[in-house]
Amino acid sequence: MRREMKDWEALFAKKLEETDLGKDPAHDLAHFARVVATAKALAADEGARLEIVVPAAWLHDLVNVPKNDPRRSQASRLSAEEALCFLRSVEYPEAFLPDIAHAIESHSYSAGIEPTTLEARVVQDADRLDGLGAIGIARCFAVGGLLGVRFYDPGDPFAERRPWDDRVNAIDHFHVKLFKTAESLTTAAGRREGARRAEFMRQYLARLALEIGGEMATDVS
């Protein structure tokens, strides 16, 4: 009997619930659910195939490698391999598997793999959007806490006299990576939403500057 997509999604969610996702609140089940919801919205806007987008979005971080682990750049490849094993075990249509694997492998910023299909671009944008805006700020500080990173440099919060260093200061990660990811989005809807979220983050930094009493250049981008 042919399964509906909602039935497949129940299997994907169950797989994640049974998977050790570690203690990283930035990559918990709620993260996957947000990425899936965003991916569906982008897919509808772009005309991407949900048969590829949905499983790839649910399973994109199936193997969770910590940010400071030397194997970090391999995480998306490992996730793709694990996802294919799982999808075959539940008899997901074989014809979609190569494109699903590519969408998972290419979603990662650290992997540096160019997405070559519309579905891969949608999944990549959906995941990167979850690193931006209000939820992106929350995730940034959550990961920083796990890594023992302080919020900011008390002597030079906005790197006016030093290079940005997100290995030491959490808000530096906005500039080292997150604003760059907003510029890297490739779908039209993703770029629009990314610009909105990036602007919110700039407003947050401006407010933070007032609250900590530090000086900040007019342009904090």
pLDDT in tens, 36-87: 999 999 999 999 999 999 999 999 998 876 665 556 567 888 999 999 999 9
- Per-residue pLDDT of 168-196, as tens digits, reads 999 999 999 999 999 999 999 999 999 99
* Alpha carbon distance 193, 187 (integer Å): 10
The pTM of the full predicted model, rounded to 2 decimals, is 0.89
Residue 66: per-residue pLDDT: 62
**Phi-psi region at 99: left, alpha or beta (left = phi > 0; alpha = psi -120 to 50):** alpha
Over the range 14-31, which residues count as b (16 or more CB within 10 Å of their CB) and which as e?
Answer: ebbeebebeebbbbbeeb
The mean pLDDT of 142-163, rounded to a whole number, is 94
Task: Please report which confidence band the pLDDT of residue 1 belongs to, taking 50, 70 and 90 as the band edges.
Answer: very low
* Alpha carbon distance 48, 43 (integer Å): 5
Residue 76: per-residue pLDDT: 84
Residue 140, exposed/middle/buried by CB under 10 A (0-12, 13-18, 19+)? buried
Confirm if 42 and 187 have CB atoms less than 8 A apart: yes
Residue 70: per-residue pLDDT: 57
Residue 105: per-residue pLDDT: 93
The pLDDT mean for the chain works out to 90
pLDDT greater than 80 at residue 15: yes
Nearest to 87 by CA among 7, 6, 15, 2: 15
What residues contact 131, with CB distance under 8 A and at least 6 apart? 139, 140, 177, 178, 181
Which range, 1-5, 14-18, 197-201, is most confident?
197-201
Length of the chain: 221
Residue 67: per-residue pLDDT: 63
- Per-residue pLDDT of 85-135, as tens digits, reads 999 999 999 999 999 999 999 988 777 789 999 999 999 999 999 999 999
Domains, the chain, ordered by start: 5-114 (1.10.472), 132-212 (1.10.3210.50)
pLDDT greater than 60 at residue 218: no
Over the range 55-82, which residues count as b (16 or more CB within 10 Å of their CB) and which as e?
Answer: bbbbbbbbbbbbbeeeeeeebbbbbbeb
Residue 215: per-residue pLDDT: 52
Give CA separation, 88 vs 81, 96, 97, 98, 120, in Å.
11, 11, 9, 12, 20
